[in-house]
Every structure is written in C-alpha cells, then in structure tokens.
Amino acid sequence: MRRCISLLIALLAPAALAAPDVDRLYIEHCAACHGTDRLGGLGPALLPENLSRLRPAHAESVIAKGRPATQMIGFSDKLSAEDIAALAKLIYQPPPVAPVWNLAEIEASRIIHAAADPAAKPVHGADPLNLFVVVESGDHHVTILDGDRFEPLHRFPSRFALHGGPKFTPDGRYVYFGSRDGWISKYDLHTLTLLSEIRAGINTRNIALSSDGRFVAVANYLPHSLVLLDAADLKPLRLIEARDIRGRQSSRVSAVYQAPNRKSFIVALKDIPEIWEIATDEAAGPVYTGLVHSHEKGMTEALAASAGLFAHRRIAVETLLDDFMFDPDYRHLLGSSRDGAGATVVNLNVGRPIASVALDGLPHLGSGISFLREGRRLIATPHLNRAQISVIDTADWSVFARIPTGGPGFFMRSHENTPYAWTDAMLGPGRDTMTVIDKRSLAVAGRITPTPGKTAAHVEFDRHGRHALVSVWEMDGALVVYDADALREVKRLPMVKPSGKYNVYNKITFSEGTSH
C-alpha cells in the first residue's frame, strides 16, 4: 500500500521531485558575470580554490540576497530555495575539465587603462612617501590616505578580494595589487590613476616586485605556476611551472618574496619540499653561486648553466615550508608549514637548512618582525592557534622569550622609531583587543580595545613611527589612529571592513617593523 502511494505521488508531482537543472540555471543567471567556465569576468571566479573564505551556507545567502556595495544582486525573487542550494553546491565542485591559463591566455587578458606619464607631478599636496594604501575588503575598494593629516585623498573600486599586500616601486610612485582571482593592477600614486591590469592566474596567493622595480612575480595556486611580468606595462615575460626537479610532481605556489640585496625572488612551495631562488638581475651573484654549488652536488647541467636573468635555483629542505620570513640581510630564511610544528632556518648562501626552532602553535612567520635589543637581533612572530608571541635570538636560533597575548593573532607590527610592537588577537575570543609589547623589556606595555566586541586587526605605522593605525575589521568598521608614544586615540575614520594598510615609505625602505 505504501509503495503504491509513493508511486502515485511521483506520478502526480514530477516537477516537485525533479532535481534542478543546475547547468541551465548557472548559464541563465550566473555566466554573464562569472564566465561560462566559472573562471570569472565582471564577478569573481567560482571555483573551490577561490572560495576558501566563503562557507557554503554563506554562499547560499549571497546568491539569495546579494552582496551589499557590489554588483552581486539577490536571486530570491527568481529562484527557489532548491535552485539556490543547487547553485551553491555547484560552485564548490571542480570543473569537469581543468582550466588552462598559460601565457596566451594571460596576454589576451591584458588591459591598458591609461598611459603612464613619468613627468607628471602629484595631483595632491600630501607627502608622497607618507601615503597609506588602505584595502577595504568589505566592499572591494582601496582608499589612498594622507599619512600626515589622516584624510582620504581618493577611493576607488578594486578587483575582487585583494590579497597578499600591495607592492611599491623603489621610488614609491607606483603600486601593484594582486587579487585572489589572479588580476594584477598597476596604479599611479601621483596621478591617482589606474594604468594597467592583467590576469596572471586563476587563484593567486601574492605578488612581489623586484628590487629594481623591473619585474612583477605572481604566485599561483591555480594553475601551479609562477608568472613573471614586465612591471612597466604588465606584459607577461615567462611562466614557470611549479614542478619538482624530476618534473613529476607539481605544486601550488604559496608565496613569492623580494630579496633586495640578493637581486632575486624567493619562492615558497606548498606541495614540494623545495625553496626556489630566481634571479631578477643578469648579475645576481648569490643565485649563480648557488646554482654552481648545487650542480656540484648532482644537479642537472642545464640548470647549473642557466645563470643570468630568471636563473632558477632550487634548495632542498626536509619538510614542506610555505610560510617565510627573513633576517634583515636576507642571508637566512625562517620557514614553517601551516600544518606543522616548529620552524626551519635555511642559510640561503650555502643553500641548506642549518637549524630548527621549536615553535608550536602554528607560527605566522609571514607577519613576523625583527628588531635590535641590547645589540641582539631578535625575530618575533605571532601564532595562529596560541595566545603568545615567540621571540627568537638569531645568534643561535633559540627561543629567547615567549610573551602572552590576548589570544591567537595574525599580524604583528612595529617601527624602528618606536619602543613598542603591536599585535592582534583576531583569531581568539579577545579579538577586539590589541596587545602592545615593549621591545626593551619584552613585557606587555598595555592593551587597547578600539571598539568593544568588534575585531581589531593589522597595525601599520606612519613613516616617522609617530602614529599607529589599527583596523576595526567589520563592515561598519573604522581606521583608528593612535599616538604611538602615548597609546591614545587621535582620530577615527569610518571604513568598510578595512584590512591591510600599507605605508609607502616603510615598505620601500624595508622598515624593520613591517612585513616585506
């Protein structure tokens, strides 16, 4: 009897029981903005690798209600709850055919918005070296801020989900942005003009600019590649597939860093136990010396002979290292794996690990700082799942001190002209409070709560070290300016989930208190 009733229901209401035609729904409602291949267009790419920060339940809400301050409209008046759930499920599935994004596709995406005018003077009256570039992640905008008066000079829309920090030319005039979707943008801070853009990947982690300002390097998760661009007009120059020395295993590229005095890029790999160094100058001595040294240990003749521009050197390590920081002269690299315990010290000159450091609690080395204390060069790093700062003595790579904080944190910042270092606790229950550490005593000097109950994150100092800027990392957020000596608030600017803020002078001079 029950079987007959079930069969009758199926016959009378087939539409109610049929699964949504999700491919048709996507083409009809999504493809115009996100691309028929889900690689993105006006909207971001809708691939699993690109959606790590968007939970599936939230994806359904975005499809239904849209996203404020963006072009994403809601579809609750056009689609049923079942249709919306089916679309949300689709975008977390890999495409049936792996996407291709090689030099031809990269070149075809290049856009020239305006011609650069090297002779143009700043159109604003602000100190061009004390500007801040503020990324407002809530509505995907960038604000250019006067670092003396703390007044916005210009605000413009950015590509979706900028990530990894903007990079500045050595003179501080041009800034480059990288988005999660692989779009690289070049912007003129004198004329406040977007100059050019190119899509160098499908899922991008970060970018780096060579020390002479000639080349932009792009680290990609998808495809597994490092892309090198001409910084002048973003023309693609080379694509290096991230494969092991035998060419068998491929890897996501976790990050790329500039090593200024080495005239090279340092590359972190997610899936291969290697570190790469790539020359950005035809006479990059450390890279060429390392290649010859590696050849003597059995590396291929072709690799050892590849000295010159973009020479590619590999350093074997015992474990995967995808999160790095460096000592100030870039002789040593301190690296860790996001799923491991401890850190490995690699001497880049000799091309091998020389020490290990016991750092449990997932140190976030990419946001660490270095500073001098009583003649000792110390490195300090926050931890992603431990409420402490670890301080390392670079003389013997021992843990010199552990400083308790209000919770696990992501960012740490200081400046050579201030005795204090600031760190957040944005990954723990005390996420609304910053911990201020005295670099002289290594003791907690104070705790600052910009807005009770709302996440406080990412400190950056002005070029003089007189003021510290803190983000209230919420949609109805703010940029809060503090007197760096008195530790008191002096100004507050409303902003839409401001994340990173980057001072031109500190970045181009490699201030000891900021990430590089």
Q: Rounded CA gap, 497 and 171, in Å?
A: 29
Tell me, what's the pLDDT at 12? 40
Say whether pLDDT at 13 is over 70.
no
Provide the 10 A C-beta neighbour count for residue 159: 21
Say whether pLDDT at 417 is over 50.
yes
What is the rounded average pLDDT of the residues 79-99? 83
Lowest mean pLDDT among 15-24, 71-80, 132-141, 356-365: 15-24
Tell me, what's the pLDDT at 7? 40
Higher pLDDT, 318 or 487: 487
C-alpha closest to that of 122 among 190, 68, 168:
190
Task: Dump the DSSP string for 143-193.
Answer: EEEETTTTEEEEEEE-SSSB-S--EE-TTS-EEEEEBTTSEEEEEETTTTE
C-alpha closest to that of 320 among 298, 337, 295:
337
Provide the 10 A C-beta neighbour count for residue 177: 23
Q: Let me know: does 463 contact 130? Beta carbons within 8 Å.
A: yes
What does the domain layout of the chain look like in residue ranges? 15-90, 378-516
pLDDT tens readout for residues 424-441 = 999 999 999 999 999 999
pLDDT tens readout for residues 268-277 = 999 999 999 9
Q: Which amino acid is at 413?
A: R
The CATH number that domain 15-90 falls under is 1.10.760.10
Question: How many percent of the chain have pLDDT more than 90?
Answer: 67
Provide the 10 A C-beta neighbour count for residue 441: 10
C-alpha closest to that of 159 among 48, 39, 44:
44
Tell me, what's the pLDDT at 69? 54
On the CB side of 411, CA atoms within 13 Å amount to: 28
Q: Let me know: does 421 contact 440? Beta carbons within 8 Å.
A: no
Q: Let me know: does 207 contact 253? Beta carbons within 8 Å.
A: no
Tell me, what's the pLDDT at 87? 85
pLDDT tens readout for residues 252-268 = 999 999 999 899 999 99
pLDDT tens readout for residues 168-179 = 999 999 999 999
Q: Rounded CA gap, 380 and 325, in Å?
A: 10
Say whether pLDDT at 294 is over 50.
no
Q: Rounded CA gap, 466 and 93, in Å?
A: 49
Q: Which two tokens stand for residue 319?
A: 């474990």
| Burial per residue of 203-213, b for 16 or more beta-carbon CB atoms within 10 angstroms, e otherwise | bbbbbbbbbeb
Q: How far is CA 54 from CA 60, 61, 180, 218, in A?
A: 10, 11, 13, 23
Provide the 10 A C-beta neighbour count for residue 9: 12
Q: Let me know: does 242 contact 272? Beta carbons within 8 Å.
A: yes
pLDDT tens readout for residues 493-506 = 999 999 999 999 99
Tell me, what's the pLDDT at 206? 96
**Distance from the Cα of residue 322 to its chain's centroid:** 13
Q: Let me know: does 348 contact 315? Beta carbons within 8 Å.
A: yes
Tell me, what's the pLDDT at 41? 65
Q: Let me know: does 164 contact 222? Beta carbons within 8 Å.
A: no
Higher pLDDT, 172 or 29: 172
Provide the 10 A C-beta neighbour count for residue 352: 15
Tell me, what's the pLDDT at 215? 97
Mean pLDDT computed over every residue of the chain: 88
Say whether pLDDT at 138 is over 90.
yes
Say whether pLDDT at 296 is over 80.
no
Q: Rounded CA gap, 39 and 199, in Å?
A: 11
Contacts of 401 (CB under 8 A, 6+ apart): 390, 391, 442
Q: Rounded CA gap, 24 and 31, in Å?
A: 10
Q: Let me know: does 391 contact 373? Beta carbons within 8 Å.
A: no
Q: Rounded CA gap, 257 and 240, in Å?
A: 16
Q: Rounded CA gap, 400 and 147, in Å?
A: 35
Q: Rounded CA gap, 303 and 240, in Å?
A: 13
Q: Which CATH class is domain 378-516?
A: mainly beta
